[in-house]
Amino acid sequence: MNKFNFLSFILRLAGAIALVLLTFNPAGYSYFHWVQNALASEGTGFEAEHAFCGVVILIGWTILIRSTFRALGALGLILAIAFIGTLVWLMTSYGVVEVGSSTAITWAALISLAALLAIGLSWSHIRRRLTGQVDVDDVDDLRD
């Protein structure tokens, strides 16, 4: 059985951050900006590579969103959003995130979204560690 540890969570977080920031980020290097520039240019416009990368990103979002919702459920999702939202609020009250900077708020929102997705991807493992309860999907892992 694969052991879930802090590194496992960090890898999931890195994957979620990669997906979120590849989709959009305020630095201007994202799929959104790539397609926007292609559509604005008078050159070739939207091409096959744009469509292919868009489908790959859409698959990634589908996997992460479905996994997060299935793991956390509606109430868990609301609680996780409340936790992350109040954490960002706390960071703004301590001056870690500048309230007047739309770029800083955007970065905080994107990283918060990635953290939410990483928590969703990891929740079954975390729950098993905290409570000893096994999900139906984990039963085969315990037999090995």
Q: Which domain holds residue 42?
A: 6-137
Q: Is residue 89 part of a domain?
A: yes
Q: Is residue 34 part of a domain?
A: yes
Contact predicate 128/2, CB 8 Å: no
- H helices, E strands: number in the chain: 5, 0
DSSP, residue by residue, 41-102: SSSS-S-HHHHHHHHHHHHHHHHHHHHHHHHHHHHHHHHHHHHHHHHHHHHHHTTSS-TT-H
Whole-number pLDDT of residue 86: 96
Q: Is residue 61 part of a domain?
A: yes
Q: Is residue 143 part of a domain?
A: no
pTM: 0.84
Q: Is residue 142 part of a domain?
A: no
- Please give the chain's pLDDT, 144 residues, in tens: 568 889 999 999 999 999 999 999 999 999 999 999 999 887 778 899 999 999 999 999 999 999 999 999 999 999 999 999 999 999 999 999 898 889 999 999 999 999 999 999 998 888 887 887 776 655 555 555
Q: What is the CA radius of gyration of the chain?
A: 18
Q: Is residue 1 part of a domain?
A: no
Instruction: Report the number of distinct structural domains present in the chain.
Output: 1
Q: Is residue 94 part of a domain?
A: yes
Q: Is residue 71 part of a domain?
A: yes
